[in-house]
Amino acid sequence: MAETLAPLSEAEIEAELKARVHAPEVVLRRLDERGAGRAEVYQDTYYDTPDGMLDAKDQELRVRTVHGVDGTRSVLTYKGAEVDEASGSKPEHETRVEDAAEVHVILNGLGYVPVIRFEKQCRNYAFEARGRQMLATLVRVPELDGTFLELETPATESDLTAALGEVRAVLAELGIGAESLTRELYTDAVRARRTG
C-alpha cells in the first residue's frame, strides 16, 4: 500500500520591502538605536534547470554561505512564486546545511545548474517593532551602485497585508519613504551589469 504524504503546512511568507538608501549614515544611526548590528558577507549561488523552468515559474533555488564574526554557515533556500505583486513577497522555505560543497554537488546531480553567483556585504539588525520580529539588512553589492535596505518580518498569506503595513511603518521611522522602494532583484541587476 502506497504511503500518502501529508500536505505541507501553510507556507511562511517573507513579508519584505526593499529600498534604495539615499542617506546610509542616517539609516545606520537609526538602526544602531534599535540594537547591535552584525556584519556578514553573503556568497549566493542561484540555481535553475538548463531550460530556465524555475525562473519561468517565478521560483528561486539558492545556496547561501554566510561569513561573519561567529564563523561560517550555509543555508539552502527555496522561494515560491510571489503572492503580493506590490512588494514581491514570496513563500520561503529555508534550512541550514552542514556542507555547502556537497549541496552544490547534489543540486548539479539533480540537473540544476548555477545561473548566477555574487556577493552581498550586509549589516543585519534583528529587533522587535509593532509587535513583530523584524530583520533589517543594509546591503552593498560590490558590483552595483548604492546601498539598499531590506526589511522583513515573517507572515502567513492571511496576515500578509497587515505585516507589510507594519514593515512600511518601520521603514518610515527609519527615514525611508515610499518613493525609495524598489522591486529590482539583485540577480537581475548583477546580470545586467555583467552583460553591459
pLDDT band for 157, please (50, 70, 90 cuts).
confident
Whether the per-residue pLDDT at 9 is higher than 70: the answer is: no
Mean pLDDT across the stretch 139-157?
95
Q: Cα separations (Å) of 173 from 10, 78, 92?
A: 31, 31, 26
Residues in CB range of 139: below 8 A, 6 or more apart = 120, 121, 122, 147, 148, 149, 150, 186
Mean pLDDT score of the chain = 93
Q: Is 74 helix (H, G, I), strand (E, B) or coil?
A: strand
Strand 113-129 relative to strand 132-140, pairing: antiparallel
Residues in CB range of 80: below 8 A, 6 or more apart = 11, 58, 59, 90, 91, 92
Task: Say what the pLDDT of residue 20 is.
Answer: 97
Whether the per-residue pLDDT at 8 is higher than 50: the answer is: no
- Distance, C-alpha 141 to centroid of its chain: 13
Whether the per-residue pLDDT at 126 is higher than 90: the answer is: yes
Mean pLDDT across the stretch 144-149?
96
CB of 86 closer than 8 Å to CB of 168: no
pLDDT in tens, 19-59: 999 999 999 999 999 999 999 999 999 999 999 999 999 99
Mean pLDDT across the stretch 87-102?
94
* Residue % of the chain over a pLDDT of 90: 89
Residue of 139, 131, 137 whose CA lies nearest to 165: 131
Mean pLDDT across the stretch 67-71?
94
Mean pLDDT across the stretch 121-144?
96
Residue of 89, 14, 79 whose CA lies nearest to 46: 79
pLDDT band for 3, please (50, 70, 90 cuts).
low
